[in-house]
Structure 1
Amino acid sequence: MRKTKTFSWILLCLLSFSLLLPSLSVVASGKVYHIPLENEVEDGLKAFLQRAFTEAEEEGAKTIILEIHTPGGYVTSAHEIGKIIANSPVEVVAFVNSKALSAGAFLALHAKKIYMVPNATIGAAAIIDSAGNAADEKSNSFWIAAMEAAAESQDRKPIYARAMADKNVDLPENQAPEGQLLTLSAEEALKVGYSNGTVANLNELLETLNLSDTEVVSVEPTFAEKVARFITNPMVVTLLLSIGLFGLVMELFSPGFGFPGLIGLSSFGLFFFGHTVAGFAGYESVVLFIIGLALLIAELFVPGGIIGIIGGALMIISLLFAGESVVHMAYSILIAVFIAIIGMVILMKFFGKNLHVFNKLILRDATTTEEGYVSNVNRVELIGKIGQSITPLRPAGTIIVGNERIDAVSEGSYIEANKKVEVIQVEGSRIIVRETNKGVE
């Protein structure tokens, strides 16, 4: 009886284990994560790829296929994304469809394998500054070394990576014309070991990697991540800060709350939304900005200036630490301040009279003569009157006309006291006289 019971338990365990085998085989085989790397390489892309790679790792993915189609982008962002690819415990395969240029080539070199479509290209990775000019020697040296290190990390010949970033490299095969950066076609990349094969599409790539029967999970950026990618672009950041500063300055110097304030707050709101979604800004930055803005508004009601200075400083600090790089944010803030000042000057100079908001900023009432205002009495009725000098005029002195003592100046010559004078001109409070022989009127 005991043997029968023991046998039943063994049979039950074997049956349970057999039922678990299909699920275990799925876990063992893993999944393929298909992740697009498209458009410009910038901070927003980094945030999306960080999420996608983390999800692939947590789900036990076997392979990540990084589909690359980019003209390049920002060096700092490329370095951070390169670290994500290099440190991934999941094998990364770069699928170049159809170009991996500049920063895109740098990222492709971090992948374990590279596959390209027939008309794809990879290379042309010189570093340029924001004005489109070649970067300085120090930056170039750093970038060339980074390109070589990326190639060497996956056992690729570094000379080709160097030639992609340095037009002065002399290649034995003469793939690049003299004085030009190296850009490899799919055939050339395969020949020099910068490609593991040429495939027509993603399905053919899966067959080549023996993954055609594996579940493919495509990861796409969410709407919020797409917005964040746009907003965290350095050019857009500078534009948002410029509009925000311009709007708030106009609003703070005009009574009430109107359209400029709404535009300014909306611009700053978009800035913090994009940087929060991208993972660069925390809620503490938003709170710090709100406190700074409140103190700046309080300065309008509390004299002294200290509160306003503290408020402005808090706002600048919150913006500095909301971006990925404090240095880049400092440049953006300085440029935004300059643009906001120029914008205010232009609007006030050319459109101020036609814009209602500037009526609150600029005092337009003038005490003109046409409106009945005079700075002092203009004694034009004295012209032609004859009087007598009470004191010598050298050229200023005092005369008497009728029974009225008047301060006057001579026409230019010296006039002694007790001489007859004639009022010849009146310029506001300035009475001009000359000596005369006419009788007193």
Structure 2
Amino acid sequence: MVILRLQSRTTGPRSTLRTVCVIALLWALAIVNAWGETARDASPQRSAVVLSLDGIVGPATADYLIRGLAAAREQNAALVVLRIDTPGGLDTSMRDIIRAILASPVPVISYVSPNGSRAASAGTYILYASHIAAMAPATNLGAATPISIGGGFPRPADKEPGPTDKPGDKQAPERADGNPRTAAPKDASEAKAINDAVAYIRSLAALRGRNADWAEQAVRSAASLSAGEARAQKVIDLIADDIPDLLDQVDGRTVRVGNSETVLHSKGLRLDHREPDWRTRALSVITNPNLALLLLMVGVYGLIFEFMSPGSLYPGVIGSICLLVGLYALSALPLTYAGLALALLGAVLMVAEIFTPSVGILGIGGAISFVLGSLLLIDTDSPAFEVSLPFIAGVAIVSLGMTFLIGRLALRSRRAPIVSGAEALIGQRIRVLSWQGEQGHVSAAGERWRAVGPTGLAPGDTVVIAAVQGVTLHVRADTSPPAPAAPPRR
């Protein structure tokens, strides 16, 4: 149609040739543009996403890394560099990270850096799960024994003293690979946990073709290696000084991603650093078990105060917010519901002691329940995610102190004279307003009362209230001596 329109407007061979040239040029530009778009879309090697695992492995770091891997997949990144410097952390968070790495269509390079960093405990598992494992000089990895098993690292196995040993000496014999043997687990629970961790890390080693025997020793005897030793024992793939050096060394390597082989073309990639955002930082703060437990208590206290004083608003609003944030933080942690129930019961009992003094039984029971619940609250093998004992002790001491203070105030109030109500009228001296026979009216507490009493009383006489029956006062004649007259002023 364009050609027909152009031909209809032009006449002569020169105009026709010019029209054909313009159309050919337009077609050429369209083809070049489409080819460029296709080539750009087909090339997955535009950037390398750099993620950082600094500090303890927990719910916040797991959320950050999982979202980072998803973002790398969406932007079709060439690879992901996971920089590691961690002492370990939660087993549940570690397994979430490893599942995300194994499912990632983008190759993941774990890199222990900078110099002086470590990939201990959970970091070792993550390093084994990655497509390529690398370390910087002066770094180390290992010590992957679950800490909660037996309360520490397993003990070396003992052997009988040899001829040259002194009586009582015990040594740990070495295995054929040079690593020390470990003692047998103390119980079935410890053996179950150790064997589960060993099977998990050996499966990762088999998947990536790394040293499975040393991985087992890292779990059973907390073995550790420096960067050079790890490279020599085929625990890692290479040692790099920095990320550019790392990308140069991995260029041309073939890794298995899913069910296919992928050749890495990493030279000249643009580095896309993705630092933890506000969500990750906020989650890392509120997932501190001590803060989460404190938010939970503030929430419970606020709601109870609001129920006791409807319309206060502030306790209810603040308590609701703190309770929801605390529950969200606890939901991200490996908590035990028995511990949570005991902690909540303890908080409720301690608050109930404030409003209904029970001579200490509610407060003491609440403190005991809160301490037990706090100790059982988090099910973890990482000391960093355990509830602090000083925090638990501080809350328990404050709660007990408040209980004893309330009990003392209640006892003092019981011994104090009554100053309000009908009982406060008994014993008061009042004035007769009118009297006839055995009844009349008196003035008491600024009000006119109906009264019954002895005969012979007259208006203006002073009587003493003996009892209160409904709205009627029982009075008797005042037999106390009159108060001495004040001395005259000079």
Length-normalised TM-score, structure 2? 0.55
The counterpart of 2:233, out of the listed 189, 192, 208, is 192
| Residues 129-151 of structure 1: per-residue CA shift (max 9 Å, x gap) | 39955672222211111111111
Of stretches 259-268 and 133-142 in structure 1, the one that deviates more from structure 2 is: 259-268
Q: What corresponds to 1:147 in structure 2?
A: 201
Offset at 1:110? 0.9
Asked if residue 52 in structure 1 is aligned to residue 68 in structure 2, the reply is yes
Deviation at 1:351, TM superposition (A): 3.7
Distance 1:347 1:258 in 2: 26
Partner residue of 2:274?
Answer: 219
Q: What is the CA deviation profile of residues 206-231 of structure 1, one whole-angstrom value per residue up to 9, with x for unaligned ones?
A: 33234342222111221122111222
C-alpha distance 269-26 of structure 1, shift in aligned 2 (>3 A): same
Question: Alignment partner of 1:41: what SS?
Answer: coil
1:64 and 2:80 aligned: yes
Q: Distance in 2 between matches of 1:367 and 1:255?
A: 31
> Partner amino acid for 1:16?
A
Contact 2:51 2:83 (8 Å CA) reproduced: yes
| CA RMSD between the two structures | 3.8
After TM superposition, list the pairs within 5 Å mapping 1:370-385 onto structure 2: none
Q: What count of residue pairs does the alignment treat as equivalent?
A: 311
Alpha-carbon separation, structure 1, partners of 2:82 and 2:108: 7
Q: Which residue of 2 aligns with 1:350?
A: 401
Label 1:11 to 1:255 Cα distance change in 2 as closer, same or farther (>3 A): closer
* 1:352 CA displacement: 5.6
1:39-438 matches, cutoff 5 A: 39-97=55-113, 98-129=117-148, 132-133=151-152, 136-167=190-221, 181-210=222-251, 211-249=266-304, 251-253=306-308, 257=312, 264-271=319-326, 323-324=331-332, 328-334=335-341, 336-337=343-344, 340=347, 341-342=366-367, 346-347=397-398, 349-351=400-402, 365-366=413-414, 368=416
> Quick check: 1:248–1:261 contact (8 Å CA) kept in 2?
yes
Residues 110, 203 of structure 1: CA spacing in aligned structure 2 closer, same or farther, 3 A cutoff?
same
On the 8 A contact 2:142/2:224 being kept in 1, the answer is yes
Change (3 A) 1:131 1:337: farther
Give 5+ residue unaligned stretches, structure 2: 1-12, 154-188, 252-265, 348-365, 371-394, 428-490
Larger displacement relative to structure 2 (12-21 or 134-143): 12-21
Counterpart amino acid of residue 89 in structure 2 = G
| Structure 2 CA distance for aligned equivalents of residues 243 and 130 of structure 1 | 34
| 1:334 positional shift | 3.2
CA contact (8 A) 1:241 1:333 kept: no
Q: Deviations over 1:146-198 (max 9, x none)?
A: 1111111111121111111011xxxxxxxxxxxxx211111011111122221
Q: Which moved more, 1:112-121 or 1:237-246?
A: 237-246
